[in-house]
Structure 1
Amino acid sequence: MCRSKKSTDVIRPRSSNSKGPSFSPSSRKPKTLKSSSSLSQPSSSTSITNNSVLSSGYFDNNSSYYNSFSTQASKNLSSIRDSLPENPHIYDFSDICLATDNFRSNRFSSSSASSSWLCNLQGKQVVIFQRKMRRPIELADLVHKLSVICRSHHSSLIKLLGVSLSGNYVYLVYEYVHGVNLRDCLRNPKNPSFTVLSSWISRMQIAADIASGLDYSHHCSGLETSFTHNHIKITSIIVAEGSLMAKICHFGTAELCGEVTTDEESSKTLGRSKSKVMKIEGTRGYMAPELQFTGLVTQKCDVYAFGVVILELLSGKEALKFLVDEESGGYQRVSVIDTAREAAAGGSAGVRTWIDRRLKDSFPVDVAEKMVLVALECVEEDPKKRPDMDKVAGQVSKLYLDSKNWADNIGLPTDISISIAPRHSCLEFDVLSLWYLRSFSTCDLQ
């Protein structure tokens, strides 16, 4: 179901006759950069002549060989061209309006910070996000950032296809991935006792995928640049249909929307007195303490949010909730970070009772305890005490392999793909759940 995780798990080019996961090579032909009247950017193309480096005199007497060579070379060049990523698009705003039926089509999602539409744009199924620009951006800067972001390729990142600008809003066009967000996989209000991620190895795969993708976005091996995500939360992780691999949404959003400050701006401390200058946006429970105080977005804020997501993944509980205190009549704040710290203080026994009960106690306790400690290190209040994502990704990858070895030793399947379609009855279980219950009963008998 999942291979060994690496921080540079980059999607390799495929030949034209290979079978891709969800696209055909013919749909990957590069296109020129499209510009609107307000965003004019010259496009360039390079053509390659197959026989430009060959002596024509040599082939005068070898026409059959030349024809064969030319045909083969054309096929090779065509296959390489088809496997190359598409050039980033600057879409006309009219194209965005047409695809969304002037924004009257059903919204894919909506929040206080953004709205999105699932639609077809130039023959592709995409998700268009509308976000407000935090800072104005020059065309040259936009084109440069867009080209770098669109050159980034990782199996755990949902690809950005292009953008469009209109007034104070930016429209980001992402490829559509069939699946559901991680929150819905873990917590189904209609059936709280059921979860698609019913095995320990499936949750470790999710953790390794997220760590690998976030590590790549922070370091972008080969691109000599780095990005801050600023939107890591449980609803920003998509669990793909079938493979149950995790993919991170909104890659590049913070850079293109002006949410990340430059080095000069970061050197000036933004305190409470300047809170009216910059509106602090974030999701309660995932915002690092320094982000709430200064409003400055850094990679250590991503590390903090990642730690919260991992604690949710392990426990199945919400990052932050408020319960009614029957004695006082008020509300009691319950944080997954606080409960995890209490569990870790109790050692293996505390962690064992804290882990999601729907796993039926079928997991390696030593690995679970180490995972909790890694996540708690990520949510340290002092950002200087938090590790970098390359270190975290290495630790999670090792614990994932330890989990696979544990599963192999007790004979649990690690490569089953299942459906994440909604369940209509609490009595309906998928193949993985049935196998899990059977193995758990066998362990009890032994």
Structure 2
Amino acid sequence: MRRHILAYLNLFLLLNLLSSFPLSSSRSHFNLKRGNSISVGEKSEFLISPDNSFTCGFYSLGTNAYWFAIWFTNSRDRTVSWTANRDRPVNSKGSKVTIRGDGTMVLTDVDGTVVWQTNTTTTDVAAAELLNTGNLVLKNRQGEILWQSFDFPTDTLLPSQAFTKNTRLRSARRQGSYESGYFNLYFGSDNVLRLISDSPDTSTAYWPNPDFDIYRNGRTNYNSSRIAVLDDMGKFLSSDLFQFNTSDMGYGIKRRMTMDYDGNLRVYSLDNLTGLWDITWQALGQPCNVRGVCGRNAICVYAPQSICTCPPGFEVNNANDWNAGCKATFNETLLNSLQVKFLELPHTDFYGFDLNATNPTTWETCRDMCLVDFRCQAFSYRLLGQGFCFIKSALFNGYASPDFVASIYLKLPNNLNASKPDLFHASSSSCGSSEQEIVVGSPSMYDFNNKSVRWAYIYPFFVGLGAIELLLILLGWWFLFRKHGIPASVEAGYNMISSQFRVYTYSELKKATNNFKEELGRGGSGAVYKGVLSDDRVVAVKRLGHVFQEEEYFAEISTIGKINHMNLVRIWGFCSERRNRLLVYEYLDNLSLDRHLFGPNFLDWKQRYVVALGTAKGLAYLHHECLEWVIHCDVKPENILLDSEFQPKIADFGLAKLSQRGGPGSEFTRIRGTKGYMAPEWALNLPITAKVDVFGYGVVILEMVRGVRVCNWVVEEEDRNEAAITNFVRRIKEEMQCGRLDWVESVVDSRLGGGFSRNQAAALIRTGICCVEEDKNKRPTMASVVQTLLECEQENDG
């Protein structure tokens, strides 16, 4: 009953909002025949998709500028998905779109100037239609498509719209504008899907992580087809092996992937009830990782939200467009003829444009190098055991973070009154933002920016609307927490993750699992059951034991929700009702690794190596690339799942712990894990770090090579007091030192019948031995393990 009341109230709000915008007399139809036209004006016409989800016609952001565009009919702000010649609007009077007799669709301005036209020059064109997918097409009489807007995207990719080597998404210049911006999604010449900042000053790729090579980013450049697509389920697949699922994965939801004005690539999902958009995936969690988001000489800083600011001695060029950056308040050309000083900006750097990089060196030497070089605008100095000096010829892509260990020293006139700034309490505009936003509900891409609007009349309306929305939110929270009895200490955690995951009721999951009938596995944190959701998705439902406390439960959800990697299991939702706590994961066809390693139907060598490498990539992501530092703490074959193509995905983060890098919580001592895979520091009650995962991974890959569980390894009679893994490592090291040529063959699973790569097997054995060193400081990092295995990936000498 309460749910219905809330639904009606939201519908009432939506109708009131829509009624606040005057509707002109218009006509809509499903096609535009050859020889006909659509004109701007009070009686303008629209093309409507058969399911009424998309509209095509003339769209205005002001009083006189119109664009021929396609937009989402049911979104509150009529969000645009495609525009014809976005950089050239037409006049409000006399402009029109016509299908000429030669089959060309033409947009003309009031004076007859051709602003845009299709590349079709055939009399076979019969009509233009707008499909349910949002695709504007020109068809012949046989229904064949001769031209489509899907081949010429602007800043948005729609589900089922192929993204190819011939297309790119280009951001808008600023919020509330259609003008082409500087940020692009495209396939590079190396066949990898990339984000690039392509400003007039510089071009800089910033996603995937430019500090890593292709393979460390989980991509491949071997597939030259260069194609990607977002499907109707919310799953994105690319030929470079990049893939992800939206947090609300399922059918029946209108979505769009947009290259946003702030340089981030996001997927939005439409809430049909409110007409607002929710972010269900984004490429970058840290806005300052977008290179060029703040422009030349500007700095992106978290204070605590990401903002753009100018350093001392500089002022903003255009407060409404931070892409324009900052300009010097002094004459830079005369700087070297004046007395100069260097002003320190702590925890700050500018990416690239290094005239010189020297190490080791002293701060004084670094300063003098900048002083005598007329091209030097600043220098960066880092003291990491030894001094690192970077002389900067230009100041692009500036960023500041308390975690960054270096400082930038600006070269300024001696008579300039400037002091060391506190960047982390700066006051300036949000990164990539052109104006302060007032967002009602979820954030959306475009806002109306009509300068002729009488704000004195609209302010009271929005104040009243905001008050009603706030009242609804408070009522919803009151009903929710009163019904389920969730303690106040957990409300913050729920608020953080509730917009990112689907919340399931206990009855839904009970029905989906047929009363938890089919058990897939059981671990220390609970049992996992197979289920089928109402949208026919097959899922794995993890039922957590009662011992799992609220704070642990929400810690697990928040951890998994931040993670997106091809070798890690995704979570689709959760349930928390009284003492029932469940997690809903993606279901993987081939279940866990142990079922395909120790039984009669075992993996061949090639599959084993793929699993070893993929698992290493997943752990490396957890340890080195996550925004948080994630330790799994229970790496074993049962927690490595295999999809339909036997690609590995690491599961069970119920034992994971989060810890800030280098902070006081970077180590913990609570003993958890599985015997045989637990590092020695567990038993010795020593501080626990990511090296416990390295140890567990080492045991796993040695088991993969041998095809036998470590608990079943035979210990020689005289060494019965020695652990099996310790005995194995000692024996193999002795054989290697003695120069035995068959030491690899003596270890590899005999069931393979010699069908394996000797070089790969040797690499896995050596890596495994290094990983299980008793001294954790001698164990490698997972990033170095990935690099080692990649070097042998193409070996095929078996």
Q: Could you tell me the TM-score, scaled by structure 1's length?
A: 0.63
Q: For each residue in 1:18-64, what CA deviation from the matched residue of structure 2 results, as whole angstroms up to 9, or x when unmatched?
A: xxxxxxxxxxxxxxxxxxxxxxxxxx998622468673647932244
Aligned residues of 1:266 and 1:296 also touching (Cα < 8 A): no
For residue 78 of structure 1, the aligned residue among 133, 148, 158 is: 158
Q: What residue number does 2:766 align with?
A: 373
Aligned residues of 1:260 and 1:296 also touching (Cα < 8 A): no
For residue 354 of structure 1, the aligned residue among 726, 747, 762 is: 747
Go from structure 1 to structure 2 and tell me whether the alpha carbon gap of 1:236 and 1:267 turns closer, same or farther (over 3 Å shift): closer
2:246 alignment partner AA: E
For residue 80 of structure 2, the aligned residue among 49, 55, 58 is: 49
Instruction: Quote the Cα distance in structure 2 between the aligned partners of 1:334 and 1:218.
Output: 28
Q: What residue number does 2:651 align with?
A: 249
Go from structure 1 to structure 2 and tell me whether the alpha carbon gap of 1:121 and 1:57 turns closer, same or farther (over 3 Å shift): same
Q: What residue number does 1:40 align with?
A: none
Q: How does 1:264-303 map to 2 (within 5 A)?
A: 266=665, 270=669, 278=670, 280-294=671-685, 297-303=688-694
User: C-alpha displacement at 1:298, in angstroms?
Assistant: 3.0
User: C-alpha displacement at 1:370, in angstroms?
Assistant: 3.1
Q: What residue number does 1:314 align with?
A: 705
SS at match of 2:634: coil
1:201 alignment partner AA: K
Q: How does 1:291-440 map to 2 (within 5 A)?
A: 291-294=682-685, 297-321=688-712, 335-347=724-736, 348-401=741-794, 403-404=795-796, 406=797
Report how many aligned residue pairs link the two structures.
Answer: 335
RMSD over aligned Cα atoms: 3.8
For residue 165 of structure 1, the aligned residue among 551, 572, 576 is: 576
2:637 alignment partner AA: I
Aligned residues of 2:635 and 2:697 also touching (Cα < 8 A): yes
Go from structure 1 to structure 2 and tell me whether the alpha carbon gap of 1:46 and 1:116 turns closer, same or farther (over 3 Å shift): farther
Q: What residue number does 1:137 align with?
A: 551
Q: Which has the larger radius of gyration?
A: 2
Q: What residue number does 1:62 align with?
A: 97
Instruction: Quote the Cα distance in structure 2 between the aligned partners of 1:357 and 1:314.
Output: 10
Go from structure 1 to structure 2 and tell me whether the alpha carbon gap of 1:213 and 1:322 turns closer, same or farther (over 3 Å shift): closer
Instruction: Quote the Cα distance in structure 1 between the aligned partners of 2:714 and 2:735.
Output: 24
User: C-alpha displacement at 1:297, in angstroms?
Assistant: 4.8
2:602 alignment partner AA: V
Greater relative contact order: 1 or 2 (C-alpha under 8 angstroms, separation 6 or more)? 1
Go from structure 1 to structure 2 and tell me whether the alpha carbon gap of 1:50 and 1:344 turns closer, same or farther (over 3 Å shift): same
1:78 alignment partner AA: L
Aligned residues of 1:320 and 1:334 also touching (Cα < 8 A): no
More helix by share: 1
SS at match of 1:179: coil
Go from structure 1 to structure 2 and tell me whether the alpha carbon gap of 1:352 and 1:322 turns closer, same or farther (over 3 Å shift): closer
Instruction: Quote the Cα distance in structure 2 between the aligned partners of 1:400 and 1:206.
Output: 12
Instruction: Quote the Cα distance in structure 1 between the aligned partners of 2:593 and 2:522.
Output: 17
Aligned residues of 1:211 and 1:393 also touching (Cα < 8 A): yes
Aligned residues of 1:323 and 1:332 also touching (Cα < 8 A): no
1:109 aligns with 2:521: yes
1:186 aligns with 2:597: yes
Go from structure 1 to structure 2 and tell me whether the alpha carbon gap of 1:261 and 1:164 turns closer, same or farther (over 3 Å shift): farther
SS at match of 1:352: coil
Q: What residue number does 1:16 align with?
A: none
Go from structure 1 to structure 2 and tell me whether the alpha carbon gap of 1:74 and 1:225 turns closer, same or farther (over 3 Å shift): farther
Instruction: Quote the Cα distance in structure 1 between the aligned partners of 2:553 and 2:589.
Output: 33
Instruction: Quote the Cα distance in structure 2 between the aligned partners of 1:363 and 1:178.
Output: 25
User: C-alpha displacement at 1:316, in angstroms?
Assistant: 1.1
Q: How does 1:225-236 map to 2 (within 5 A)?
A: 225-236=628-639
SS at match of 2:569: coil
1:350 alignment partner AA: W
Q: For each residue in 1:296-330, what CA deviation from the matched residue of structure 2 results, as whole angstroms up to 9, or x when unmatched?
A: 653211111110001001111212248799x99xx
Go from structure 1 to structure 2 and tell me whether the alpha carbon gap of 1:337 and 1:235 turns closer, same or farther (over 3 Å shift): farther
Instruction: Quote the Cα distance in structure 2 between the aligned partners of 1:284 and 1:318.
Output: 12
Aligned residues of 1:99 and 1:120 also touching (Cα < 8 A): yes
More strand by share: 2
Instruction: Quote the Cα distance in structure 1 between the aligned partners of 2:696 and 2:76.
Output: 41
For residue 237 of structure 1, the aligned residue among 640, 648, 670 is: 640
1:248 alignment partner AA: I
Instruction: Quote the Cα distance in structure 1 between the aligned partners of 2:666 and 2:610.
Output: 38
Go from structure 1 to structure 2 and tell me whether the alpha carbon gap of 1:267 and 1:365 turns closer, same or farther (over 3 Å shift): closer
For residue 613 of structure 2, the aligned residue among 208, 218, 227 is: 208
Segments of 5+ residues of structure 1 without an aligned counterpart are 1-43, 271-277, 408-446
Aligned residues of 1:181 and 1:237 also touching (Cα < 8 A): yes
For residue 91 of structure 1, the aligned residue among 470, 494, 504 is: 504
Q: For each residue in 1:86-115, what CA deviation from the matched residue of structure 2 results, as whole angstroms up to 9, or x when unmatched?
A: 223232333223323443x22222234320
Aligned residues of 2:655 and 2:672 also touching (Cα < 8 A): no
2:612 alignment partner AA: A
User: C-alpha displacement at 1:235, in angstroms?
Assistant: 1.6
User: C-alpha displacement at 1:146, in angstroms?
Assistant: 5.0
For residue 562 of structure 2, the aligned residue among 148, 165, 168 is: 148
Go from structure 1 to structure 2 and tell me whether the alpha carbon gap of 1:397 and 1:268 turns closer, same or farther (over 3 Å shift): closer
Go from structure 1 to structure 2 and tell me whether the alpha carbon gap of 1:307 and 1:324 turns closer, same or farther (over 3 Å shift): closer
Give the % identical residues. 24
Aligned residues of 2:715 and 2:727 also touching (Cα < 8 A): no
Aligned residues of 2:628 and 2:658 also touching (Cα < 8 A): no
1:233 alignment partner AA: K
Aligned residues of 1:341 and 1:376 also touching (Cα < 8 A): no
Instruction: Quote the Cα distance in structure 2 between the aligned partners of 1:45 and 1:313.
Output: 55
1:344 alignment partner AA: K
Go from structure 1 to structure 2 and tell me whether the alpha carbon gap of 1:165 and 1:299 turns closer, same or farther (over 3 Å shift): farther
Q: How does 1:32-47 map to 2 (within 5 A)?
A: none
